[in-house]
């Protein structure tokens, strides 16, 4: 892909006898939100850590923002933002001091106070990091990840511990970053987050990428049969149909108009995802 910000071919990694990655091929395009899904132990974290330059690969080719992360320098690191799964630094420093302090390390940072507000920490700006709840600490991690206006942002389960209101505000912030040209690689277990944010989704299982598509088309979701349900004279009825429009039309003619309690349901993203990773 000519606009690929991340291009991986044949990434492989072992930890002793354990195979973490067998052969990962992946392209992430400029300006998109790409979500990486997979069960625990599937290889998501290893893949992202190699792309972030935190971990070396055993085999394969990798380009991130035009450079190999294994050899990239400080200038390259200034172009990326990273939100890790956990961080426990700065325990005795206030939220405002932490964010303002790190802003000086970036050539073109976002306004620190706007970042604090965007992640829902305005009322906690004077609190020390050690005084924050788990969800509030997570918001501080996110603030530091987006502070430098990164070209490429890695988000590893960023909204864990967020309450629904702050989670929605964070989604809006991420959508704004994408609109401004930031490329985002998101790993999450929240499939509603994937449907709301992601342009494309990759599913990792067994150390390899098993499918890449849009949320609506992942695993052939758009072609999967629908379940049509209604209430007839003998009670609730249902029919699995590959052409639900025709089925509904036949029911409407049969009932001479409205079909009682009619619903049409396609497989959800969760249904397709669980099938792809081998869970019922």
Domain final position from 216, 236, 256: 216
Any idea what the CATH number is for the domain that residue 180 is in?
Answer: 3.40.50.300
Q: What is the pLDDT of residue 221?
A: 87
Which of 172, 187, 216 is the C-terminal boundary of a domain? Answer: 216
Whether residue 29 is found in the same domain as residue 168:
yes
171-220 residue pLDDT tens = 888 888 888 889 999 998 889 999 999 999 999 998 999 999 999 999 88
Same domain, residue pair 227 and 204: no
Contacts of residue 221, defined as CB under 8 A and 6 or more positions apart, other chains included, come to 215, 266, 267, 269, 272
**Residue 225 and residue 96 in one domain:** no
Averages of pLDDT over each 10 residues, the chain, 280 residues: 86 93 95 93 91 95 96 90 77 92 89 90 92 84 89 88 81 86 92 94 93 92 88 91 91 92 90 81
Residues 269 and 211 in one domain: no
Report the candidate in 75, 74, 106, 80 with the shortest Cα–Cα distance to residue 28. Answer: 80
Residue-number span of the structural domain to which 91 is assigned = 4-216
- CA-wise closest residue to 239 among 264, 258, 267: 264
Instruction: Mark whether 212 and 225 lie in a shared domain.
Output: no
Number of neighbours of residue 59 by Cβ within 10 angstroms: 13
Residue 26: name the closest of 50, 7, 5 by CA: 7
Same domain (yes/no): 174, 226: no
Q: Would the CA dihedral through 101, 105, 107, 109 be positive or negative?
A: negative
pLDDT at 120: 84
- 50/181 same-domain check: yes
If asked whether residues 232 and 107 sit together in one domain, one would say no
Considering the domain architecture, whether residues 168 and 93 belong to the same structural domain is answered as yes
Domain end among 193, 216, 239: 216
What's the structural domain count of the chain? Answer: 2
Residue 165 CB contacts under 8 Å (≥ 6 apart), including other chains: 120
Shared domain for 136 and 92, answered yes or no, is yes
How many residues belong to the chain? 280
Question: What's the whole-model pTM score?
Answer: 0.83
Residues 31, 74, single domain; the answer is yes
Question: What is the per-residue pLDDT for 167?
Answer: 84
pLDDT recorded at residue 1? 56
Is 71 in the same domain as 196? yes
pLDDT score at 87: 65
Distance CA 4, CA 26 (A): 10
């Amino acid at each position: 892909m000519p606009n690929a910000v991340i291009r991986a071919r044949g990434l492989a990694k072992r930890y002793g006898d354990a195979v973490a990655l067998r052969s990962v091929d992946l392209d992430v395009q400029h300006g998109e939100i790409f979500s990486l899904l997979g069960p625990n132990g599937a290889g998501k974290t290893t893949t992202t850590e190699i792309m972030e330059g935190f971990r070396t690969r055993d085999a394969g080719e990798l380009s991130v923002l035009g450079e190999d992360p294994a050899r990239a320098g400080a200038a390259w690191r200034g172009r990326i933002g990273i939100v890790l799964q956990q961080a426990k630094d700065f325990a005795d420093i206030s939220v405002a001091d932490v964010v303002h302090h790190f802003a000086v390390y970036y050539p073109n940072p976002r306004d620190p106070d706007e970042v604090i507000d965007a992640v829902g920490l305005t009322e906690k700006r004077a609190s020390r990091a050690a005084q924050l709840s788990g969800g509030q600490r997570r918001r501080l991690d996110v603030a530091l990840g987006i502070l430098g206006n990164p070209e490429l942002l890695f988000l590893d389960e960023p909204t864990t511990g967020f309450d629904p209101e702050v989670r929605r505000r964070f989604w809006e912030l991420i959508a704004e970053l994408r609109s401004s040209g930031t490329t985002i690689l998101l790993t999450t277990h929240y499939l509603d987050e994937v449907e709301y944010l992601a342009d494309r989704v990759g599913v990792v299982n067994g150390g390899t990428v098993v499918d890449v598509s849009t949320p609506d088309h992942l695993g052939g979701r758009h072609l999967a049969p629908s379940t049509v349900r209604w209430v007839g004279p003998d009670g609730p009825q249902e029919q699995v149909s590959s052409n639900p429009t025709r089925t509904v039309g036949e029911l409407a003619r049969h009932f001479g108009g409205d079909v009682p309690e009619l619903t049409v349901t396609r497989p959800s993203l969760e249904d397709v995802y669980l099938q792809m990773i081998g869970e019922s």
